[in-house]
Amino acid sequence: MAHDPITQSVLALLREKDPQVAEHIAQEARRQATTIELIASENHVSAAVMHTMGTCLTNKYAEGYPGARYYGGCVHHDAIESLAIERAKQMFGCRFANVQPHSGAQANQAAMMAMMEPGDAFCSLVLKDGGHLSHGMKINFSGRFFRPFHYPLHYAKDHPEHERIDYDAVRRVCMEVRPRMLLCGYSAYPRVIDFARFRQIADECGAILMADVAHIAGLIVAGVHPSPFPHAHVVTTTTHKTLRGPRGGLILCNDEEIAKKIDKAVFPGAQGGPLMHVIAAKAVAFGECLSPGFKAYGKQVLKNASALASALASCGYRCTTGGTDNHLMLVDLRTRSEHLSGADAEKWLESAGIVCNKNGIPDDPRPPRVTSGVRLGTPAVTTRGLREEHMGMIAAWIDRVLSAGLANDGSIGDVAAAVRREVSALCEQFPLPA
Ligand code: DSN
């Protein structure tokens, strides 16, 4: 059963008009309601955000920007997009925002197109160390049309900063390459990013500093992670992770010339018609982010992540870098058993109602479809209302499932079913936002 009345009425309509799709949506609603979501990049939006996306705004073409559209009939769309822009600027304390990118990768594409020429060099962290595919993966636009050079982490096990960004090496690589752009911000990095240090390096080598804060944007808005402003020239983010909005992207900056280039790079450079129903939902989500409750949410996300990392450590699991400062942790499963892979852990945990993703750990000897780690995050469980005391329960369930898998060569039917019942009972006590 769906958790909110509007989804229920949509399902009632679809059961008549398209029972096949209705059935899949109903099952997905049930899956989300009864499982624990630990994927660090996912969240549960409010009913207000969710249903704004299902409005008549989807019917409209609005190519262009507020006050300068290529279609008639955009008066309400102008007002909505302007509201989203104003709220985005207020959230990050910056002067310019483009709310049209359809996704984080498209925000990155537009930002790179705005700030670089094809063939220009940029420096970033490689995907396997915690970066992102749009940060220079060979088959991605960022690796095909630009020249990525990657800076390292501290890989030496005995280094006190093991698996953290090696800022001296970032400087070294940048001074050697002299990139057009220096890119920071990551998808699987559990520590605070020193934006001021990155800006120093960027200034020294003559690069533009871009920060992709997709993962930590909500933490920045909540004031529990330092802001990339005033250090970064360009900031990109998704809107659906810690910002708890609809799936989409956002680009921010403080410089009028850069803002003009970004607007051109988004439309007509990379995209056509904006998704106005999603932009309206962004405005609603940004309004929620600006409410006083959001700061408390951000603080609790961090407390929960720290509690989960500690509880896992007491079960014998090492988190990379020794823990976390933010909403996520990378669990090195080899410290529990050499035979435990991320792929197995993801599969076994899902069968017990705990959803996460396999993830390479720095210097991982296993390939990306197998991996030696899982990435866990607390944004979604915190939205549900879970607190530190529940993180111990989750760690114990994780250990019970993985231990059973190891002991029984992956045959964990009974244990998975038992844990799933307990998980479901906890989820029932903490329903999704309605
Ligand atoms: N795929 C996202 C993540 O899971 O981190 C990044 O775009």
Residues 308, 191 within the same domain: no
Residue 1 in this model has a pLDDT that exceeds 60: no
Q: Is residue 185 part of a domain?
A: yes
User: 132 in ligand 1 pocket by Cβ < 6 Å?
Assistant: yes
Q: What is the mean pLDDT of residues 254-265?
A: 98
Where residue 418 sits, what CATH number does that domain have?
A: 3.90.1150.10
Asked whether residue 105 falls in the same domain as residue 220, the answer is yes
d(CA 345, ligand 1 centre) in Å: 19
- Are 338 and 421 found together in one domain? yes
Whole domain around residue 356: which residue ranges? 294-429
Q: Is 26 part of any domain?
A: no
Mean pLDDT of the 182-206 span: 98
Ligand 1 centre and the CA of 131: distance in Å?
10
Would residue 6 count as lying in a domain?
no
Ligand 1 proximity of 228 Cβ (cutoff 6 Å): no
Residue 45 forms part of a structural domain? no
Regarding whether 141 and 188 lie in a shared domain, the answer is yes
Q: Which atom of ligand 1 is nearest to the CA of 104?
A: 7
Separation of CA 187 and ligand 1 centre (Å): 6
Q: Is 41 in the pocket of ligand 1 (CB under 6 A)?
A: yes
- Structural domain includes residue 325: yes
* pLDDT tens, position by position, 5-26: 888 999 999 999 999 999 999 9
Examine the domain organization and report whether 271 and 352 are in the same domain: no
Q: Which of 243, 268, 289 is the last residue of a domain?
A: 289
190 and 315 housed in the same domain? no
The pLDDT value given to residue 6: 87
How many A from CA of 135 to the centre of ligand 1?
12
CA distance 294 to 87: 14
Would residue 110 count as lying in a domain?
A: yes
Mean pLDDT over all residues of the chain? Answer: 97
Q: Which of 244, 271, 289 is the last residue of a domain?
A: 289
Q: Of 240, 267, 289, which residue is a domain's last?
A: 289
Q: Is 300 in the pocket of ligand 1 (CB under 6 A)?
A: no
pLDDT of res. 2:
63
Which residue would you say has higher pLDDT here, 434 or 144? 144
| 178 and 237 belong to one structural domain | yes
Question: Looking at the predicted structure, is the pLDDT value of residue 141 above 60?
Answer: yes
CATH number at residue 179: 3.40.640.10
Query: pLDDT tens, 28-41?
Result: 999 999 999 999 99
Domain co-membership, 269 together with 167: yes
Considering the domain architecture, whether residues 61 and 112 belong to the same structural domain is answered as: yes
Q: Is residue 19 part of a domain?
A: no
Do residues 178 and 317 share a domain? Answer: no
User: Which atom of ligand 1 is the closest one to the Cα of 238?
Assistant: 7
pLDDT digits over 289-339, tens only?
A: 999 999 999 999 999 999 999 999 999 999 999 999 999 999 999 999 999
- Residues designated as active site: 61, 63, 212, 238, 241, 247
Residues 150 and 260 in one domain: yes
312, 277: one domain: no
Mean pLDDT calculated for residue range 337-348 = 97
The answer, yes or no, to whether any atom of ligand 1 lies below 6 A from the CB of 106, is no
Pocket probe for ligand 1: among 129, 187, 374, the residue whose CB has the most ligand atoms within 8 Å is 187
Number of domains in the chain: 2
Best mutation site among 128, 129, 132 for ligand 1, i.e. most ligand atoms within 8 A of its Cβ?
Answer: 132
Q: What is the pTM of this model?
A: 0.97
Structural domain contains residue 43: no
